[in-house]
Structure formats: structure tokens, C-alpha cells
Amino acid sequence: MTPKKKAQLIAQTLLDKKAQDVVIMNLHKVTDMTHYFVVCTGESELHLKALARELEAKIKTPWHIEGTTHARWILLDYVDVVVHIFLNTTRQYYMLEQLWGDVPIEKLSQE
């Protein structure tokens, strides 16, 4: 599966589980770290954990996971796609979209 298809599948899986403000950030021209970030917001710590579990079940077990203990920001690293699942206040604090403001960002919505 290409990194772009993986990012799209991850984003759709998050949308299906009611994640909010889902975006795909295309990083492959500005860093070798990864190809894409998928960023979203969950409603509560429980919702963040449910979103992460759904990705693990539907996509595959990520190479690395961070943040499941306190669940204010869960990171799932699929190497070519890195997923950031935030609580709203944490997402506003770290402002990843502004930090990487020079990359193409695709905003997704429920359809």
C-alpha cells in the first residue's frame, strides 16, 4: 500500500469513529522523517484510546505508540504515516498545522 493510500485509509477510519478536524499533511517534500501526518481531535481521553485501538485493529499494529497512558496526545507511528490523535486543548497548544504550515494540508469531513 502506498503511503498516500495508507494515510487516506487511516483518515477515513478515524472519521468513521467520529474523530473531529481530520487532516492529512503531506510532508514528503520537506522531511525524510515520514511521508504524511494524519492529525485529528477526539472528544475525551476514552475517545482517543478508542480511535487508537480502531487503527490498530483495522490498519495494523504500528511500529511505535506513545501517549496511551494519559491519552491527551496519542501518537501512532506507521513509519511512512504518523498519526496524531489529540484532545482539543492539547492540539491547540502544540499547533502542528501551524508548525508545518508550509506543507499541503488536506482537510477531511464526514460525507
So what's the pLDDT on residue 43? Answer: 93
Instruction: State pTM to two decimals.
Output: 0.92
Find all residues with CB under 8 Å of 100, minimum gap 6, and list them.
Answer: 25, 27, 30, 37
Q: What is the CATH number of the domain that holds 71?
A: 3.30.460.10
For the chain, how many structural domains are there in total? Answer: 1
Residues 80-89 pLDDT 10s: 999 999 999 9
Provide the domain limits for residue 100: 3-107
Cβ atoms of 106 and 8 closer than 8 Å: no
